[in-house]
């Protein structure tokens, strides 16, 4: 810029000197022409100066933008000290996570799920309970008891995977469960083995619209009817059905050791509601037949079989969950002659259990019914060795649900912390068993009114009012039972 200004100043000086010299020797007309030429030259110089100034301004702006860009790029870099600090923080975080896993986390070699259930209950009976001591055994003696606090089923289970098939879902799983129940007059309610089984999925399980087939080996529940297979968290009543219990019933709820095949076919699937209901379900197998945690006491295996038909209906159909099932259990048990000083084998007797059940559960109403017929050969005497005792049982339940839990849309809502939709279930159950249909006074009837309150995902409160007619003991009484049950 200075160079251009100097050139312009020199030109102007030369022009001024030229005008002065010429003024002396020329006339006025020539002088005017020269002035006009000088004005034009001056205009051209001003135009050139303006262009040079614009170019310099643009160059300065570009240089400033370049400096600002370089400064911005400099802000994306960190110092070595800052980088080392970040690396140190990451190492500390990795150490803390590893330490928490090793010292505060339960570890297993394979995938493992721990679960359990605890029942705490209180009861009152208007008929005094009495039990005299037997000899010097005073442990089972009860003296005019009307009320009691008890623990019901207390169980802990472990479910896991031993082999996971990612291509077809033919997995190998295990189930291990321990439990205890209250014992009258003694505190020897040890933690006993309930379930110990391996299950292999023979058919693929990745597609919900395909049939399934599994094989289970070990100690397990029998696939007989509805009551026997229902877990504690799904049973509406506090006390189990009479036919499932040992003693007065058939003992079908006791675990057995054996091999059982389970499967289904022709499922109805609604992916929107995550609903799957097979039209045909079946189970069959062989078990020892003499209870849990025991080797077989004879060389005969007992057969168990079940077939269930569920009406194929969509999720929104009022016929959804309407099913009919038949069950069959047959085998042999050892007979003993107890007439002498020492018990002696008296051969084997046939045992047979035949069952029929109906199930319908469509919110808010539901009904279940189960009929079981039994035949047992018992030893009488050497003259008339065996007697076939025939028995039968009826168990029916009507229930009505109200509340948000039974509507799937409420359960799927995202809520803070431990929110769970509150709901209630009222029911009536009639439970009856006739221990010997050919003899009088062998019937026990129980009428139950109850209310179940669900106030957490795995927690419920139950209250049952039972009216019992026991023709065997010739007693009739009422029982009020309240139970708090929680699972994890």
Nearest Cα neighbor of 392 from 359, 355, 367 is 355
Q: Which residue has the tokens 């709901």?
A: 423
Distance (Å, rounded) from C-alpha 96 to C-alpha 92? 6
Determine the pLDDT at residue 65.
63
In this prediction, residue 275 carries a pLDDT of 83
Please give the Cα distance from 270 to 251 (Å, whole number).
Answer: 38
Distance (Å, whole) CA 198 – CA 213:
14
- Quick: pLDDT tens for 294-331: 888 888 999 999 999 999 988 888 888 899 999 999 99
Q: pLDDT value at position 11?
A: 44
Residue from 391, 405, 399, 388 nearest 459 by CA? 405
Could you tell me the two tokens for 65?
A: 């933008």
In the prediction, which pLDDT does 186 show? Answer: 53
At residue 408, the pLDDT reads: 54
Query: Phi and psi for 99 in degrees, rounded to 5?
Result: -65, -45
Q: How far is CA 242 from CA 248, 284, 304, 351, 431, in A?
A: 7, 24, 20, 18, 7
C-alpha to C-alpha distance for 367 and 369, rounded to whole angstroms: 7
The 10s digit of each residue's pLDDT in 201-256 is: 999 999 889 999 999 999 999 999 999 988 776 788 999 999 998 888 898 988 99
pLDDT value for 417? 61
* Cα distance between residue 430 and residue 264, in whole Å: 31
Consecutive sets of 10 residues in the chain, 488 residues long: mean pLDDT of each? 49 50 56 75 77 70 60 65 88 91 86 92 88 70 86 91 92 93 60 92 92 96 92 83 89 93 93 86 95 88 96 86 95 85 83 95 88 91 80 94 64 58 89 93 95 86 95 93 92
Q: Assign domain 103-487 one CATH number from 2.40.160.40, 1.10.3720.10, 2.40.160.10, 2.40.40.20.
A: 2.40.160.10
Residues 6+ positions from 371 with CB-CB distance below 8 Å = 355, 356, 357, 392, 393, 394, 395
Query: Do 378 and 387 form a contact (C-beta atoms < 8 A)?
Result: yes
Which residue in this structure is represented by tokens 């033919």? 170
């Amino acid at each position: 810029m200075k160079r251009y200004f100097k050139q312009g100043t020199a030109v102007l000086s030369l022009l001024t000197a030229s005008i002065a010299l010429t003024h002396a020797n020329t006339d006025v007309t020539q002088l005017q022409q020269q002035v006009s030429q000088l004005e034009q030259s001056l205009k051209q110089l001003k135009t050139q100066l303006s262009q040079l100034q614009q170019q310099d301004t643009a160059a300065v702006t570009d240089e400033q933008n370049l400096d600002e860009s370089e400064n911005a790029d400099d802000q994306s870099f960190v110092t070595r000290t800052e980088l080392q600090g970040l690396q140190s923080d990451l190492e500390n975080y990795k150490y803390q996570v590893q330490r928490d896993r090793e010292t505060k986390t339960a570890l297993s070699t394979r995938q493992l799920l721990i679960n359990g259930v605890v029942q705490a209950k209180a009861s009152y009976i208007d008929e005094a309970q009495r039990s005299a001591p037997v000899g010097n055994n005073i442990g089972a003696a009860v003296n005019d008891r009307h009320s009691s606090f008890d623990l019901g089923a207390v169980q802990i289970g472990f479910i896991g995977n031993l082999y996971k098939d990612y291509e077809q879902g033919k997995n190998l799983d295990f189930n291990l469960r321990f439990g205890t129940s209250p014992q009258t007059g003694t505190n020897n309610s040890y933690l006993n083995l309930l379930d110990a089984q391996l299950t292999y999925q023979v058919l693929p399980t990745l597609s919900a619209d395909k049939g399934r087939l599994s094989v289970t080996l070990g100690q397990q529940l029998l696939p007989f009817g509805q009551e026997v297979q229902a877990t504690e968290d799904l049973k509406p009543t506090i006390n189990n059905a009479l036919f499932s219990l040992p003693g007065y019933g058939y003992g079908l709820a006791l675990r057995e050791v054996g091999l059982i095949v389970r499967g289904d076919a022709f499922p109805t699937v609604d992916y929107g509601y995550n609903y799957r209901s097979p039209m045909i379900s079946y189970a069959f197998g062989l078990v020892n037949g003499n209870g849990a945690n025991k080797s077989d006491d004879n060389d005969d295996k007992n057969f168990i079989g079940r077939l269930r038909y569920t009406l194929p209906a969509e999720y929104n159909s009022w016929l959804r969950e309407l099913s009919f099932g038949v069950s069959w259990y047959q085998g042999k048990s050892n007979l003993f002659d107890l007439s002498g000083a020492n018990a002696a084998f008296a051969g084997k007797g046939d045992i047979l259990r035949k069952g029929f059940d109906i199930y319908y559960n469509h919110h808010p109403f539901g009904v279940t019914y189960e009929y079981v017929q039994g035949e047992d050969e018992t030893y009488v005497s050497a003259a008339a060795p065996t007697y076939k005792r025939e028995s039968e049982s009826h168990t029916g339940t009507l229930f009505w649900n109200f509340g948000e839990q039974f509507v799937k849309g409420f359960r799927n809502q995202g809520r803070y912390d431990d929110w769970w939709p509150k709901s209630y279930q009222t029911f009536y159950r009639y439970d009856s068993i006739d221990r010997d249909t050919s003899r009088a006074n062998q019937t026990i009837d129980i009428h139950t009114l109850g209310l179940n309150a669900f106030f957490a995902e795995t927690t419920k409160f139950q209250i049952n009012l039972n009216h019992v007619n026991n023709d065997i003991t010739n007693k009739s009484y009422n029982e009020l039972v309240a139970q708090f049950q929680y699972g994890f």
